[in-house]
Amino acid sequence: GEINFKIFINMKVVILAGGKGSRISMYTQKIPKPMIKIGNIPMLIHITNIYKHYGFKEFIIAGGYKSRVIKDYLSKNKKYKNIKIVQTGVNSLTGDRIVKLKKYLIKEKNFLLTYGDGVSNVNIIKLLKFHLKHGKIATVTGVRPPVKFGELSIGKNDIVEEFVEKPQLEQGWINGGFFVLNNKIFNYLKGRNLTFERTPLEKLCKHKQLKVFKHYDYWMCMDNLNEKNTLDKLFKKFKTIWNFKFKKK
């Protein structure tokens, strides 16, 4: 049966945007990572545009490191008034950040959550329908990491410790963000110093409460300068960094 759109149009979208982004430090000394611009648009706004494309309008940003920069940017433009930023602590871990947003989310049966540095052409409506259908507490979008040929694991003094020619194996799926979470997730977010991806998700797995929505198409994370440059090139070519289909070779 078709799910009525209007039910979830007011569903909240949480974006984790509080980390330091130390691997791309030439930018993040001055601004938080989600404010790095691709084609003159901050990464954060590209991510909200993914959700807006599917009709979601309510955003809560978990800010931390240099969250003032995000606040200032959003306050300059009326069209961002549906984006609320909450300071969740400069050094908080991901689980703690989600807990600090609890009061904004506790009335919601389900909410959406993703990271401030990942984009994808994942169909959010299909993801949500999948989540609502299986009835578990959490859904994570599983993605195939982009193949990076000749990945080097480099240790002290630039000595190569490990060389992996093609690290992407057939079964290799990674956490691509783009979660859907039932508010029962807060039962798994107890205690302090919680990394969402560790104990809470591990416990969910144990209780068979985490399902993966497999996304075979485009996904990209901006973790370093190389990836930023790739996204810049994509934007130049497609005028978007998420809303396109790659032509299959």
pLDDT tens, position by position, 42-82 = 999 999 999 999 999 999 999 999 999 999 999 999 999 99
The pLDDT-based confidence of 158 (bands split at 50, 70, 90) is low
95 within 8 A of 189, measured Cβ to Cβ: yes
205 within 8 A of 135, measured Cβ to Cβ: no
Who's near 164: CB < 8 A, 6+ residues apart? 150, 151, 153
- What does the pLDDT read at residue 146? 67
What is Dmax (Cα atoms) for the chain?
59
112 within 8 A of 180, measured Cβ to Cβ: yes
15 within 8 A of 48, measured Cβ to Cβ: yes
Tens digit of pLDDT for each residue in 28-38? 899 999 999 99
Phi, psi of 174, rounded to the nearest 5 degrees: -125, 165
Listed residue (94, 82, 81, 66) closest to 13, CA to CA: 82
Who's near 59: CB < 8 A, 6+ residues apart? 12, 13, 14, 15, 48, 51, 82, 83, 84
Ramachandran quadrant class, 80 (left: phi over 0; alpha: psi -120 to 50; beta: rest): alpha
- What does the pLDDT read at residue 232? 95
Listed residue (140, 214, 215) closest to 182, CA to CA: 140
Tens digit of pLDDT for each residue in 100-140? 999 999 888 999 999 999 999 999 999 999 999 999 999 99
Percent of the chain with pLDDT over 90: 70
- What does the pLDDT read at residue 149? 46
For the record, the structure tokens of 6 come out as: 């209007």
